[in-house]
Amino acid sequence: MKQQRFAQALWHVNSRRSELREEALQTAGPDELVIQSFYSLISFGTEWLVATGRVPVTLHREMSVPYMQGQFDFPVKYGYSLVGKVLEPDNLADQWVYVMHPHQDYCVVKKSDVRFIPSGVHPRRAVLFPTLETIINAIWDGQVAVGDRILILGFGLVGSLLWQVLSRIPGVRVEVAETNPWRRQWAREHDVQLWSKTSESGFDVGFNTTRQGEALQLGLDQLGMEGRLVELSWYGIDPVTLHLGQTFHSQRKQIISSQVGRIPAHRRNRWDPDRRAGLVWDILQDPTLDDYLTHEIPFPDLAELFNSLRTDQKEFLTFIVHHR
């Protein structure tokens, strides 16, 4: 008889406090895997909104993620980027996998829900999988072309990785608008062209990653004729005010919503999630992406980090959680 396994998981108890809770793991069925977690990624924009109770009631169903427990009105267990090793079954033991799952040190998941990490991708780097999926979808939504001038609003994890991928396209010139001094310095150290008020306007495509209406407005104002502004931010219950009385209509500018859950219509006949995943794994072969995992925290300290992040906006691109 197998010994009962227990796990610890991060729960947001209310809008002011998070904690680690112990729970018993169910016995794995014939089509399930037992995973020992090694790394998970904090997707700060979405997870901060969840942790502070900013998920609109109308989106409770849509914002649910695999293996989430509780409810957005609290308490809730939430998160969606976890990398670990298979413990069971024996024929798959020690294989590295990525799975959408809340922050938890052991878990039981359906085999169909995991993606096996290919050779050449370091497991620590594999936590970037969902972020790169989001970025690929956003680039498709923006219909970026060779030679475009692009403005990225915000240089957190999404903005910085977006810059990294876009910079690989021949002829594309990218500028980044960021106000945080730490992130601006990090950008300079990585040869990023920072936008300033003296920069030439007339960008072909903009990407807003900031969750700030002011940045969205700046991006719209800096676009050229028939330019496209791709909105990657999710605002939760927070309202956004825009002034559209200047060049928005006369220059036929567009605001385009981007969300990773659906592949854009103009690519859907040829692309599916598996083909997109293959592209993500190809990009993740690049060891320079390790630079974007700027901060690390041990899993036992994760609840306290969330408690502090509710009021103290620390200087980082992202936090990776180290479970082992």
Q: Dump pLDDT digits (tens) for 257-284.
A: 999 999 999 999 999 999 999 999 999 9
Determine how many CB atoms are found less than 10 A away from the CB of residue 291: 13
Please check whether residues 108 and 147 belong to one and the same domain: no
In a domain, 274, yes or no: no
Please check whether residues 107 and 159 belong to one and the same domain: no
From 245, 264, 283, give the residue that closes a domain. 264
Looking at the structure of the chain, the number of domains it has is: 2
In this prediction, residues 288-298 reach a mean pLDDT of: 95
Please check whether residues 88 and 147 belong to one and the same domain: no
Q: Lowest mean pLDDT: which of 22-26, 115-119, 307-311?
A: 307-311
From 214, 247, 264, give the residue that closes a domain. 264
Looking at residue 45, its pLDDT comes to 86
In this prediction, residues 194-212 reach a mean pLDDT of: 95
In a domain, 285, yes or no: no
Residue positions counted in the chain: 324
Looking at residue 4, its pLDDT comes to 86
Q: Record the tokens describing residue 181, joined without a space.
A: 């001094």
CATH of the domain at 90: 3.90.180.10
**CB neighbour list of residue 134: distance below 8 Å, 6 or more residues apart:** 158, 232, 258, 260
The pTM (predicted TM-score) of the whole model is: 0.95
Q: Record the tokens describing residue 35, joined without a space.
A: 């995973």
In this prediction, residue 235 has a pLDDT band, given cuts at 50, 70 and 90, of: very high
Per the structure, the complete domain to which residue 244 belongs is given by 131-264
Please check whether residues 241 and 213 belong to one and the same domain: yes
User: Which CB contacts under 8 angstroms, 24+ apart, belong to 62-69?
Assistant: 65/100, 65/102, 66/99, 66/100, 66/101, 66/109, 66/113, 67/100, 67/101, 67/102, 67/107, 67/109, 68/102, 69/102
Please check whether residues 110 and 136 belong to one and the same domain: no
Backbone angles phi, psi at 148, to 5 degrees: -65, 150
CA 229/CA 299 separation, integer angstroms: 37
In this prediction, residue 229 has a pLDDT band, given cuts at 50, 70 and 90, of: very high
Please check whether residues 141 and 253 belong to one and the same domain: yes
In a domain, 210, yes or no: yes
Per-residue pLDDT tens digits for 79-127:
999 999 999 999 999 999 999 999 999 999 999 999 999 999 999 999 9
Please check whether residues 82 and 143 belong to one and the same domain: no
In a domain, 215, yes or no: yes
Determine what percent of the chain is predicted with pLDDT higher than 70.
99
Please check whether residues 29 and 101 belong to one and the same domain: yes
